[in-house]
């Protein structure tokens, strides 16, 4: 491992995190609201109702909307930021745990 | 293509959960062996980026949308088993907190998007001799189509819908969605490579360490 390599990957990680947060906060409210591939197929082939009948629980922020905010764009952006930070912490923690176990 | 609760019967979701459980266990072992300390921050930010990008559905025409899967992206930068762990973590967070993908369907969603998709991207990168714009595009495209085909197979196995109809429809839409996957992945890898990261850690470059 070269010191340059270490410095580069250290420098890029915060930039990529900022990029991820920007995507979550600024782009997600503009996401297409059309059904995705599977939802579209389930509608066309007539089995989408199976999902509506079977919802086990709706989670903390169903449909990526932060609870209690009336402005939908803002609720989506906030849910996106919270989820992005959650994913970052969880994956980073997993990586640290895995390499900790190695030592 | 997150499968919600209700689409799969118990035998199918239990079977898929068993297979992905074994694959994720193997992924934990492989990544634990091969992941270098300097790659850990990259692992984390890829989790963040893939979660964020999966929220941004892009229209593909005909009143349908798709979003980045990110399996080919994580595979290009770190390797298939790291991609499995990143995608699995993202899928768990989506199912638990955002009701995106069913709790019972989690094993099937992990199998399709966190195990099959990275493995297919990995095979394409290997076959085409590394991570270059064309192989990234094809690896991304194939990874999405393979995950869609696997989803169709599970839906048919569960008796939800006949295989011929669901396979054609799922693969058909994801031929289009996969183009978006390819373009975004190429752009992201080019951005990261320009910053020098891939040269330092690329898993498919000659003389580099083990595939994580």
| Per-residue model confidence as pLDDT tens digits over A15-74 | 999 999 999 999 999 999 999 999 999 999 999 999 987 767 778 898 999 999 999 999
Residues of A (28-57) whose Cβ lies below 8 Å from B: 28, 30-38, 40-42, 44-45, 47, 50-57
Q: How far is CA B188 from CA A61, A103, B50, B149, B184, in A?
A: 28, 33, 11, 25, 6
Determine the distance in angstroms separating the CA of B123 from the nearest CA of chain A, rounded to an integer.
24
List the single residue in B with minimal CA-CA distance to A50. B6
Determine the distance in angstroms separating the CA of B169 from the nearest CA of chain A, rounded to an integer.
6
SS (H, E, C) B103-151: CCCHHHHHHHHHHHHHHHHHHHHHHCCCCCHHHHHHHHHHHHHHHHHHH
The reported pTM is: 0.94
A18 touches chain B (CB under 8 A): no
pLDDT at A1: 41
Q: What is the enclosing helix (H) or strand (E) of B61?
A: strand B58-61
| Interchain contact, B197 vs A12, CB within 8 Å | yes
CB B19, CB B47: distance < 8 Å: no
pLDDT at B204: 82
Whether residue B156 lies inside any domain: the answer is yes
pLDDT tens, B5-46?
A: 999 999 999 999 999 999 999 999 999 999 999 899 999 999
Q: What percent of chain B has pLDDT over 70?
A: 93
For A83, the domain range is: 3-55+62-102
CB B7, CB B155: distance < 8 Å: yes
What is the tally of structural domains in chain B? 1
From CA B179, how far away is CA B60, in angstroms rounded? 9
pLDDT at A85: 98
* CB crowding A49-67: b at 16 or more within 10 Å, else e: ebbeeeeeeebebeebebe
What average pLDDT does range B137-150 have in this prediction? 98
* Coil, strand or helix at B4: coil
ipTM of the complex in this document: 0.93
For B75, the domain range is: 10-201
Mean pLDDT of chain B: 93
Task: Name the burial class of residue B159, with classes exposed (0-12), middle (13-18) and buried (19+) by CB atoms within 10 angstroms of its CB.
Answer: exposed
Whether residue B33 lies inside any domain: the answer is yes
Give the CATH number for residue B70. 1.10.1760.20
């Amino acid at each position: 491992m070269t010191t340059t390599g270490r410095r580069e990957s250290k420098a890029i990680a915060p930039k990529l995190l900022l990029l991820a947060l920007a995507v979550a906060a600024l782009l997600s409210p503009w996401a297409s609201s059309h059904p995705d591939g599977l939802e579209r197929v389930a509608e066309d082939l007539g089995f989408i109702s199976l999902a509506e009948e079977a919802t086990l629980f709706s989670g903390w922020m169903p449909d990526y909307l932060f609870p209690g905010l009336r402005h939908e764009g803002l609720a989506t952006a906030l849910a996106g930021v919270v989820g992005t930070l959650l994913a970052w912490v969880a994956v980073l923690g997993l990586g640290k745990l895995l390499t900790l176990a190695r030592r | 293509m997150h499968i919600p609760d209700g689409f799969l019967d118990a035998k199918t979701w239990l079977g898929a959960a068993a297979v992905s459980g074994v694959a994720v266990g193997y992924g934990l072992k492989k990544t634990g062996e091969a992941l270098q300390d300097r790659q850990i921050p990259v692992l984390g930010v890829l989790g963040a980026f893939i979660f964020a990008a999966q929220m941004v559905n892009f229209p593909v025409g005909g009143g349908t949308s798709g979003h980045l899967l990110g399996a080919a992206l994580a595979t290009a930068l770190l390797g298939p088993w790291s991609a499995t762990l990143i995608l699995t973590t993202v899928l768990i967070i989506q199912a638990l907190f955002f009701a995106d993908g069913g709790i019972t369907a989690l094993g099937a969603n992990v199998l399709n998007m966190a195990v099959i998709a990275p493995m297919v991207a990995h095979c394409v990168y290997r076959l085409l001799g590394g991570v270059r714009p064309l192989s990234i595009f094809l690896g991304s495209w194939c990874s999405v189509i393979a995950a869609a085909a696997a989803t169709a197979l599970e839906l048919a196995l569960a008796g939800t819908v006949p295989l011929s109809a669901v396979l054609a429809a799922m693969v058909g839409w994801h031929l289009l969605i996969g183009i978006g996957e390819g373009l975004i992945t190429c752009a992201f890898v080019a951005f990261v490579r320009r910053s020098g990261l891939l040269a330092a850690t690329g898993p498919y470059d000659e003389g580099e360490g083990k595939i994580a």
